[in-house]
């Protein structure tokens, strides 16, 4: 086997956002970045949207990068928001398209309510600003509001925004019910894809809750977990490598890149997977 065909050695980024959701670069700009950073396999995984996939696909074939169609689905599990990546799916699947449109329809109303909540707490209306930098009605989310808060100099950084606004218990947070875990995994599997539990360290779950989430996820048909995530430190990578092996889950790698100024790691620069993991992309090469 040629060295570059050993799955662990490939430069893979299976978690990236474009301006089809809350990233700031176009799919083309992202693929150019991936090319510059020697990415071999690239997936675009916008929140609840597949709108950038055609453009990314075309650009990847131009740049000779293997393209994996993806999406990051917002899920409500046990009253918490969880993100499930659907990778290598048929993005023309009609059930998937219908479900994603339904989620997008609820984002606009949620954004209006977020704006009202912020105004009630003395902030100016940020709706036009937030909406102006979201690609379309269905894409608007908390990061668009966070950027508007920074541009009005109400906070200095994203970290400051997400400590004081837009999170449970703070102004601008609106309870929202996304898809259920079982619905999202089923949708992904029915579209021929692979369901991956995204950035598992991000959810502030107790060990008991984490174990219940992984059990439910596997029960509904989830088969992989993001181990080498741009959101994980070295300790968390080790922890989830162990969990992946214990639960027979494949492992994924991705930066969760959103834009150059905001993301710690550039496209393709997530840590490599630990050797003992089974890469989710091994069967796609
Ligand atoms: P939404 O899907 O509208 O709830 O927005 C979620 C998005 O907000 C995430 O995908 C991130 O892009 C962003 N976000 C949430 N929390 C943080 C944080 N602490 N720091 C930076 N970005 C965050
Ligand atoms: Mn995001
Ligand atoms: Mn996420
Ligand atoms: Mn993401």
Confidence (pTM): 0.97
Q: What is the pLDDT of residues 143-167, one digit of tens each?
A: 999 999 999 999 999 999 999 999 9
Residue 77's DSSP bridge partners are 80
- 141 in ligand 1 pocket by Cβ < 6 Å? yes
The pLDDT of residue 192 is: 98
Non-local CB neighbours of 163 within 8 Å, separated by 6+ positions: none
CB 144 within 8 A of CB 134: yes
Query: Ligand 1 centre and the CA of 166: distance in Å?
Result: 9
Ligand 1 pocket test: which of 19, 21, 22 has the largest number of ligand atoms within 8 Å of its C-beta? 22
Query: Could you read off the pLDDT of 38-94 as tens digits, one per residue?
Result: 999 999 999 999 999 999 999 999 999 999 999 999 999 999 999 999 999 999 999
17 lines ligand 1 (CB under 6 A): no
State the distance from the centre of ligand 1 to the C-alpha of 125, rounded, in angstroms. 20
Span 186-215, average pLDDT: 98
Residues with CB under 5 A from ligand 4 (ion): 72, 256
* Token output for 32: 């150019």
Task: State how far the alpha carbon of 14 is from the alpha carbons of 23, 154, 229, 283, in Å.
Answer: 15, 34, 9, 14
Instruction: List residues bridging with 283 in a β-sheet.
Output: none
pLDDT of residue 216: 98
Cα–Cα distance list, 97 to 4, 50, 51, 128 (Å): 35, 8, 10, 27
17-46 confidence digits (pLDDT tens): 999 999 999 999 999 999 999 999 999 999
Nearest alpha carbon, ligand 1 atom 16: 162
How many Å lie between the centroid of ligand 4 and the Cα of residue 63?
23
Q: Which atom of ligand 1 is nearest to the CA of 74?
A: 2
Give the whole-angstrom CA distance, residue 79 versus residue 132. 30
- Chain segment 216-243, per-residue pLDDT in tens: 999 999 999 999 999 999 999 999 999 9
pLDDT for the residue numbered 4: 56
Phi-psi region of 125 (alpha: psi -120 to 50; beta: other; left: phi over 0): beta
DSSP conformation class of 16? B
Ligand nearest to the Cα of 255, by number: 4
Q: In the prediction, which pLDDT does 1 show? A: 44
- What string of DSSP letters covers 183-215? HHHHHHHHTT-EEEE--GGGG---HHHHHHHHH
Ligand nearest to the CA of 261: 1
Residue 74 Cβ inside 6 Å of ligand 1? The answer reads yes
Asked if residue 137 has pLDDT above 90, the reply is: no
Q: With a 6 A CB cut-off, is 69 part of the ligand 1 pocket?
A: no
- 150: buried, middle or exposed (CB in 10 Å: 19+, 13-18, 0-12)? middle
In terms of Cα–Cα distance, which of 120, 171, 122, 166 is closest to 147?
Answer: 166
């Amino acid at each position: 086997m040629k060295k570059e065909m050993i799955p662990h050695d490939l430069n893979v980024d299976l978690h990236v956002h474009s301006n089809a959701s809350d990233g700031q670069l176009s799919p083309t700009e992202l693929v150019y970045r991936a090319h510059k950073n020697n990415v071999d396999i690239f997936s675009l995984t916008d929140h609840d949207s597949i709108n950038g996939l055609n453009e990314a696909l075309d650009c990847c074939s131009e740049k000779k990068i293997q393209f994996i169609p993806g999406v990051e689905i917002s899920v409500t599990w046990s009253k918490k928001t969880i993100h499930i990546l659907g990778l290598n799916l048929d993005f023309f699947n009609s059930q998937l398209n219908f479900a994603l449109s339904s989620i997008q329809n609820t984002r606009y109303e949620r954004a209006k309510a977020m704006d009202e909540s912020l105004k009630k707490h003395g902030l100016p209306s940020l709706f036009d600003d937030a909406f102006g930098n979201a690609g379309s009605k269905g894409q608007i989310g908390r990061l668009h509001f966070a950027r508007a808060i920074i541009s009005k100099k109400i906070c200095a950084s994203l970290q400051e925004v997400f400590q004081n606004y837009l999170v449970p218990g703070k102004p601008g947070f609106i309870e929202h019910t996304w898809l259920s875990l079982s619905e999202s995994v089923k949708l992904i599997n029915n579209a021929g894809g692979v369901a991956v539990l995204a950035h598992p360290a991000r959810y502030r779950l107790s060990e008991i809750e984490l174990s219940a989430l992984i059990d439910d996820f596997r029960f509904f048909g989830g088969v992989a977990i993001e181990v080498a995530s741009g959101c994980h430190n070295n300790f968390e990578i080790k922890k989830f490598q162990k969990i992946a092996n214990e639960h027979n889950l494949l492992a994924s790698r991705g930066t969760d890149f959103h834009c150059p100024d905001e993301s710690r790691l550039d496209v393709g620069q997530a840590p490599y997977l630990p050797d003992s993991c089974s890469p989710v992309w091994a069967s796609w090469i």
